[in-house]
Each structure stands twice: as C-alpha cells, then as structure tokens.
Amino acid sequence: MEEINPKDKEWFSQIKEPVVLKSMSSVNWDEEADIAIIGCGGAGVAAALEASEQKQDVLVLDRFFGGGATAISGGVFYAGGGTQIQKEAGVEDSPEEMYKYLQMEVKGIIKDSTLKKFCEDSSNNVDWLMKHGVLFNSSLYRKKTSYPTSEYYLYHSDNSLVPEYAARAKPAARGHRGFIKNSLRVTGLGGSIFYPLLNAAKNNGVRLMLQTEAIRLVQNRNGKVVGVEVLQIPPNTSAARKHMKFSKRASAYQMLIRPLANYYRKKALRIEEKERVSKFIKAKKGVIIAAGGFIFNREMVRRYIPKYENGFPLGTTGDDGAGIRLGQSVGGVAAHMNRATAWRFLNPPVAWGQGIVVNAQGERYCNEMVYGSILGEAMIENHNGKGILIIDSQLRKETLSQLGPGKLMPFQRNPVILNMLFKSKKAKTIAGLAKKCDMSPLKLYDSIEKYNLAGEGIAKDPFGKPTDDCRGIRKSPFYAIDVSLENSLFPCSVITLGGLKINEESGNVLNEEGKDIEGLYAAGRTAVGVCSNIYVSGLSIGDCIFSGRRAGLHASSL
C-alpha cells in the first residue's frame, strides 16, 4: 500500500492539501447537497441514481461532460448467475459457478465475501439497469471471440471457455453487450448503458455541474470530509463553448489520430488554466469519488507502470489520477498501483489465435486463445513487451478468408491487414525466418515442434491450448508478424487497475490504519475493485455499477 501527500515530489497531480475548517461557517458555500459525487462516468452515475432513489439531494461534478470511460467503451456489462438475458438465450449459470470462475481471475485482490456478493447481486443489477432503460439482447455467440459481430450481443467475454478454466467452473456467456434499437452501430456502445442511467438520474432530481474539476477536499476539525473545492468554467460563456468543442474533438480523435487528439486536449487545458473560478461545494452526508484511473497522467504511468508506458492509453483525459490523489490527500491509501491491463487480442481472426506467439529469443510463452489481457500481461511483465506471431502459409490463407465482409468489424480487420502488409517477415524455412527476426533458430524450431506434436495429439500443448486449436506450423513459406506492445499499427490498449483501498462493505476510503475516512467514498477505477488484478471485458463496468450503488446506498443511510 502507498501513503503519499501533496508535498511529495512524486505527487504528479494538481490536487491540493485539504481545507480544514474551524467551523462550517468559516467558508462561503456556493452549492450544497446531501451527497456530492466527483466524476460522472459509470460508477458516478450509478452512485447518483442509487442515492436519488434513496431520496437524497445529489450533486454530480464532472470536469468535462459526463460519460467517462464507460460511455466510450464497447458497452459490455459483465453479469451472470442466471440473468434474465442468459435465461432467454438458454444459458445455464449460477452465482456459484460465476464465483468459482471469477476466483481464478480475481485471485484474492478483494475479499471472497465481496466477490460472492458481486456474483449474487449480478442478476439483480441487470434488472436494475433494465428498469432504468438500459437494453440488452439475448442473441448468443457460443464460441470464443474478443468482440462479436452485429448479430450477437451475449457472448463469452472472458476465459471461461479456455480448458484450464472450464475444468474448474462451468462456462457461461456473461458478456452482456448494450443494445440500441433501430441502430446499425455495434462498437462504442458504452452510451447504451451510460445515457439511460444519466437520464434516469436527472429525472430523479440529480443535479450536474459540468466543466467543473475538483481540486481539493474540505474537512471539519474531526477529519470528516464535508465538501470539496472545485474550479469551474463559467457556464454559457464563450470559454465554456470553446472548451466543449476542443474537448469533444480530443475525444473523437483519440482512437484515430493521437497527435491531433493531444493537440485539441492541450487547447482545452489552456482554457481551463485561464478561465476557471473557484467554488466550494458542501456535502452534508459525504463525497463519493468516481473519477477513473490514471492512464492519462503520463508521469504517474512512468512512476507506477513503466513497462506499459508505450501502450495505447484507453480512457479519457479525466483519467489522470486526480480521484486517487484526492483520497490520498486526506490520508487515504492506495494499493496495487503497479497493476495495469494490456489487451493483445489475436482472435478474431481465429487463424491468428491458432498460430503461436514467441518472444525475442523464439520461445513461446502463452496459450494464444486466451483473453487478450492474459496474453498482454505475459508479454509485458515477462517478455519486455515483445511478441512475434508465427503462422504458416495455410494459416495465412485461412486468415485472408476470415477477413471477408460481415466476418469481422473494421477495428478488428484493419490492423490485421496493415500488419500482414507492413509488419510481417517471410521465409521458406524456420531457420531463415529466425534469422530475419534475429532470434535463435533452435529455440524457434523447438517451440514449433512442440506445438506441432500437440496438434497431432502426440503430446499435450505445454500452454493448455486445445488440440483442435493447435493447427500446426508446417507449410512453407512461414511468416512472423509483430504483435509487440510498441507496434503502432496494432495498438495494444492499456488501462490502470490500482486505486484507493476501501471498506468493501460500505465503499468508505480507508486510512493507513485500515479505518474509514468519515464522509469519503470511492468507486469504479478510482478504487480497488473486482477487476484490480486482471481484466476481462465488461468487468470494469460491472464493478462500476456494483461499487457505485454500494457507495450511494451507504452514504444515503447516514
């Protein structure tokens, strides 16, 4: 665990030391509410909606315009235990099987009792989302894929079909992709989950203060968090309109042209520096921090997860660690700050997943059909971010046939084509390929030989890949395709997983003694949660709803 404060040279944040009041009247409050929530993403809106259902006056603050990483995500909600969508699709599942599976992914990073509750509450959370207007669809994709095509909305978004996992927990499709009626859109569906919740929260009387950044917390003499100081761009001004334009352009270009996104991001930041005014927000029952992770704070990335620095940052400008630093500024402690997830997906096309990935020496190190975060972690943590995909001419031919219309989406197809054209090496022999890749011919040959024996059923695959997927690498010519972390033509998305330590029954931020910091809560990626060990698709949004509702409910009960 890490204890740090704003005076530390590695603070790397604009968050200031808290204001400590002699009395509640010693500051001029500009706004007040029962509960103030910092961050209007998935966790923030869940907390706000839950608190509003408990008849609380809720004020949500967001540096930009709401949505956070949830709104720009693929819109996958990880849920199981027998949701109504699973039942419609004929998928058998139970909280017990979901728990047994997630134990293998979570590995004790949260309490077993918390994980059990997450699984037991999962079906009810789907019902809660649907009650507030979120739509799902029970069209089922039964095979393994990183993200299905437009015909399917319920799929295996995890490792449950991988043999070593399936042997310990009954597989079930738990990736519930959000659905929008009469829309052809099948990517970036996070809005299908976020915006119905936001509308429901507004209808319940939740108030929003946009273009408003929290910079420090306010405490009373006893250490209870009673408010927050913010900097706000005055609404309905020219500065506010320009800030909106530049911020939205930065978001739009982030996945397409990063230098252009950074250009507009800097223009928005300059407006913030010049135009914002200070305000104090009183929170009578508490403050909930739901401000995301820190992937866009490059100094914090270099400090905590340097191996992942050259990955593709996935999130929003607001994922700058400010929420974590706010908690730490009043004595909160953070944990697992060295945890990140990098997604190196090979399937689809399935033919790529049926090849092998080797390191710089030619040694194979993972089952290539696992969920992308497993492969990404092995590549970055143990092999210096290096990955070379080896296929033969038969798998290359099958790859090309799997790129046809309707078989893959553009974000899946285009990197495959680009990398086969510009990041591929070819040779008639294994030794020749090894020479072109500057790796050991003996080690590469050994990796391929063991793989081929597994494909023939003579031996088990050393990494547990099913025999049917061990297609073998036999037919010349042979190909080596760069799938390393730094490959700009094949972005490897990275998000941070560490955050503030919390009381897992209430969501209260904990101090170094393990005691609650009164009046302060954290949720989503600002806090340690279900997916803080490793990531599978939809688990972060699943945790955002679970942890956001938990914090909103407990703060309301005070």
Instruction: Please check whether residues 405 and 524 belong to one and the same domain.
Output: no
What are 230-236's contacts with CB under 8 Å, separation 24+?
A: 230/61, 230/278, 230/279, 230/280, 230/281, 231/272, 231/276, 231/277, 231/278, 231/279, 232/276, 232/277, 232/279, 233/271, 233/272, 233/275, 233/276, 234/275, 234/277, 235/210, 235/211
* CB of 354 closer than 8 Å to CB of 368: yes
What pLDDT does 226 receive?
98
The domain of 383 spans: 345-482
Identify whether residues 552 and 508 lie together within a single domain.
Answer: yes
CATH number at residue 349: 3.90.700.10
Q: Find the radius of gyration of the CA atoms of the chain.
A: 24
Q: Where residue 28 sits, what CATH number does that domain have?
A: 3.50.50.60
Helix (H, G, I), strand (E, B) or coil at 229: strand
Is 137 found in the same domain as 119? yes
pLDDT score at 65: 95
Indicate whether 297 and 334 sit together in one domain. yes
Which amino acid type is present at position 530? V
pLDDT on residue 407: 87
- Assess if residue 189 is contained within a domain: no
Specify the pLDDT at position 181: 87
Distance of CA 483 to the CA centre of its chain: 21
Q: How many residues are recorded in the chain?
A: 558
Residue 348 three-state SS: coil
DSSP 359-392: -TTS-B-S-TTS-HHHHHHHHHHHSTT--EEEEE
**The tokens 């923030």 sit on which residue?**
44
Whether 238 is in a domain gets the answer no
13 domain-assigned: no
- The predicted pLDDT at position 150 comes to 84
553-556 contacts, C-beta under 8 A, 24 or more apart: 553/50, 553/51, 553/54, 554/506, 554/507, 554/508, 554/521, 555/35, 555/47, 555/51, 555/56, 555/285, 555/286, 555/288, 555/507, 555/521, 556/34, 556/35, 556/50, 556/51, 556/54, 556/55, 556/56, 556/285
- Residue where a domain terminates, one of 132, 159, 177: 177
Instruction: Select from 439, 461, 482 the last residue of a domain.
Output: 482
Note whether 295 and 368 are same-domain residues.
no
Distance CA 240, CA 220 (A): 33
Within-domain flag for 2: no
pTM value? 0.96
**Separation of alpha carbons 239 and 6, rounded Å:** 29
Sign of the CA dihedral with 300 first, then 304, 309, and 314 last: negative
Same domain, 210 and 226: yes
Q: What angle do CA 555, 523, 221 make, to 5 degrees?
A: 50
Question: Is 281 part of a structural domain of the chain?
Answer: yes
- Residue 504: strand, helix, or coil: coil
Q: Which of 482, 515, 546 marks a domain boundary?
A: 482
Contacts of residue 366, defined as CB under 8 A and 6 or more positions apart, other chains included, come to: 357, 374, 375, 378, 379, 463
Q: What is the pLDDT of residue 255?
A: 76
- Across the strands, what pairs with 59? 36, 207
Angle ∠(318,320,326) on CA atoms, nearest 5: 100
CA 170 from chain centre, in angstroms, equals: 25
pLDDT at 149: 86
Instruction: Return the SS3 of 43.
Output: helix
Question: Which contiguous run of DSSP H or E holds residue 218?
Answer: strand 212-219
Q: Residues 350, 441: one domain?
A: yes
Tokens of 558: 């005070």
Closest by CA to 525, choosing from 272, 251, 290, is 290
**Regions of the chain where pLDDT drops below 70:** none
Question: Are 376 and 471 contained in the same domain?
Answer: yes
283-320 exposure pattern, b = at least 16 Cβ within 10 A, e = fewer: bbbbbbbbbbbbbbbeebbebbbebbebbbbbbbbbbb
Q: What tens digit of pLDDT does each residue of 428-446 get?
A: 999 999 999 999 999 999 9
- Is residue 149 situated within a structural domain? yes
Do 454 and 382 have their domain in common?
A: yes
- Closest Cα partner for 326 from 551, 16, 97? 16
Token digits of residue 4: 């740090």
Which strands form 140-144's sheet, in the order they lie side by side? 76-78, 175-177, 154-156, 140-144
Is residue 64 one of the residues assigned to a domain? yes
pLDDT of residue 552: 98
How many domains is the chain built from? 3
d(CA 527, CA 398) in angstroms, rounded, equals: 43
Q: Give the pLDDT confidence score for residue 256 in this predicted structure.
A: 78
CA 454 – CA 462 distance, rounded (Å)? 8
CA distances, 456 to each of 391, 449, 451, 461, 548 (Å): 17, 11, 9, 10, 50
Task: Report the sign of the C-alpha dihedral through residues 323, 326, 327, 328, in that order.
Answer: positive
Are 220 and 322 within one domain?
A: yes
Q: Are residues 470 and 349 in the same domain?
A: yes
- Whole-angstrom CA distances from 165 to 346, 413, 451, 524 are 19, 28, 21, 26
- Residue 404 is predicted with a pLDDT of 86
Residue 8, in any domain of the structure: no
pLDDT in tens, 32-59: 999 999 999 999 999 999 999 999 999 9
pLDDT of residue 406: 81
Q: Domain check: are 359 and 461 in the same one?
A: yes
